[in-house]
Amino acid sequence: MRIIVTGGAGFIGSAVARHIINNTQNQVLVLDSLTYAGNLESLDTIANSDRYKFEHVDICNRLELDRVFSEFQPDAVMHLAAESHVDRSIDGPAAFIETNIVGTYTLLEATRQYWNALRETAKEAFRFHHISTDEVYGDLHGTDDLFTETTPYAPSSPYSASKASSDHLVRAWLRTYGLPTIVTNCSNNYGPYHFPEKLIPLTILNALEGKALPVYGNGAQVRDWLYVEDHARALYKVVCEGEVGETYNIGGHNERKNIDVVQTICRLLDELVPNKPGNLTKYEDLITFVTDRPGHDMRYAIDASKIDRELGWYPQESFESGIRKTVEWYLANEQWWSRVKDGSYAGERLGLTH
């Protein structure tokens, strides 16, 4: 297969690209506009593969998309390009509307034009796989409720509202034009190459520097945590085996309160990095509760039984094994995250060395 991965220099997208190159014989073309969260260094391990190619393309640029489709002739599109940080969407929603809504529309139209020109057998085999989030479903109030594939949408933030809109566009292009689309909605990802503004890497890196570990409100917000490499396996299985028109929820079966996640990381660091900065006795002493963010959902939790039942996917990592692997990865890869933190990774973005 020849697969376009949009947003492939981002956290989840790069995991998908690495998974495909390392575990299949398929060809991957990564499209990424290389905004702040796009990092070509996350693709270094596959950069020398003759089955991997990178194109510096914004999904809002229709002319460039048409060129890429014409030259690469993909069998599938895995659409991960998105602005994804809730706090940033509150401070500046315009970029989320542009990328997540207008960008998805532009990509759908470029895909539709390309798909319409394919021979019938190629048209039937083609897939447009749209990767979304469980945040489109809004908030769960009961302790036992779970998001299913038929849970009504009730987004709370500009980010989740823009992703909900993109989900609707994808389904409409199937219903109206027959474009063979599939949608997946995932829970919170974590793991290697995670941009340091997100909770888990921020906690790890702040702790190593003896800085405050900020926790919103009282830290009681619950999330279902999914190891990113488990997610990449699921996404590849969906694009290869999923049914057109179906939605698959992908979750880690690992519900944790935010405060418990932070405390778990602190205990792992106590074990793995006993020489603490300053006069620190234990890393938990750095935990600092801060004012909650506006519209903060209290609980997300995914029912992932459908993808298990129909496609045979189940996460391999427990939260305990995944978070240990994550902490160990950050300890072993200071060069990667230090270049993100000091901004020098931007030089590679601008130099486009891949």
**Residues designated catalytic:** 134-135, 159
106, 116, 262: which is closest to 179 by C-alpha? 116
Element (H, E) at 131: strand 127-133
Alpha-carbon distance 110 to 315, whole Å? Answer: 34
Q: Which amino acid is at 215?
A: V
Q: How far is CA 207 from CA 269, 277, 292, 313, 338, in A?
A: 8, 8, 21, 34, 14
Residue with tokens 């809109």: 165
Q: Which amino acid is at 333?
A: N
Q: How far is CA 78 from CA 99, 194, 265, 273, in A?
A: 15, 19, 32, 38
Residue with tokens 């315009």: 94
DSSP state of 198: S
